[in-house]
Amino acid sequence: MKSRRFILPAVLMLVSTLTFAQVQAPAAPPSDAQKSFDKLKTLAGSWTGVVAGTGSEVDGKSVQLSLRVTSLGNALMHEMRVEGRPDDPITMLYLDGDRLLLTHYCDAGNRPRMVAKASPDGKTVDFEFLDISGDTHYGHMHHATFTVLDANHHIEDWTFMEGDNPVQVHFDLQRTK
């Protein structure tokens, strides 16, 4: 009789566990934002290239770029050093719910945020201006596009606004490690 008291609760627990396992919903497919973020995280590493820019003081200068996955995979840190410039602007890319956001810590003293839109082919992530904090007297970064060509080659196009005048820079980058 005593053994039946122990068997019945064990059987009930087993049945409820099996029932719960059967009714769990399958995992939702990743959002476009998650897919874009995962694609950009494959760029983690060191990169080098030359800047091409219309109306830019950095046109023709070499650039060293580092991309690093950080915060247990929740952020991608983008750090750039352009030849002859003492600063190294930092950009952070991260998911915010179902959006992929970019915050650029600009050497102009402000922090524009941009929101991503993925291309249908999944190779290009286009960031559109969302909002900004800080002073815009010296201009602000307004747009960015990342295009992954292959594991060792990607392109970045950035637009900086000086008043109403866009200054565009193009980075054709090769992986160094």
pLDDT digit string, tens, across residues 117-172: 988 888 999 999 999 999 999 999 999 999 999 999 999 999 999 999 999 999 99
Sign of CA dihedral 155, 123, 101, 69: negative
- Residue 176 to residue 114: CA distance in whole angstroms: 28
**Which class is 32-175 in CATH?**
mainly beta
Q: Which residue has the higher pLDDT, 51 or 15?
A: 51
- Residue 95 to residue 85: CA distance in whole angstroms: 30
> Average pLDDT for residues 69-87, to the nearest whole number?
94
Predicted pLDDT of residue 42: 97
- Residue 161 to residue 128: CA distance in whole angstroms: 13
Rounded to two decimals, what is the model's pTM? 0.83
In which band, very low, low, confident or very high, does the pLDDT at 9 lie, cut at 50, 70 and 90?
low
pLDDT of 70 strictly over 70: yes
> Average pLDDT for residues 60-86, to the nearest whole number?
95
Predicted pLDDT of residue 22: 54
> Average pLDDT for residues 106-127, to the nearest whole number?
94
- Virtual torsion, Cα 54, 41, 88, 104, nearest 10 deg: 70
pLDDT of 88 strictly over 90: no
What's the chain's average pLDDT?
A: 89
Q: Which residue has the higher pLDDT, 1 or 48?
A: 48
In which band, very low, low, confident or very high, does the pLDDT at 28 lie, cut at 50, 70 and 90?
confident
In which band, very low, low, confident or very high, does the pLDDT at 93 lie, cut at 50, 70 and 90?
very high
Q: Half-sphere exposure (CA, 13 Å, Cβ side) for 100? A: 26
Residue ranges of domains in the chain? 32-175
Lookup: tokens for 170: 């193009």
pLDDT of 26 strictly over 90: no
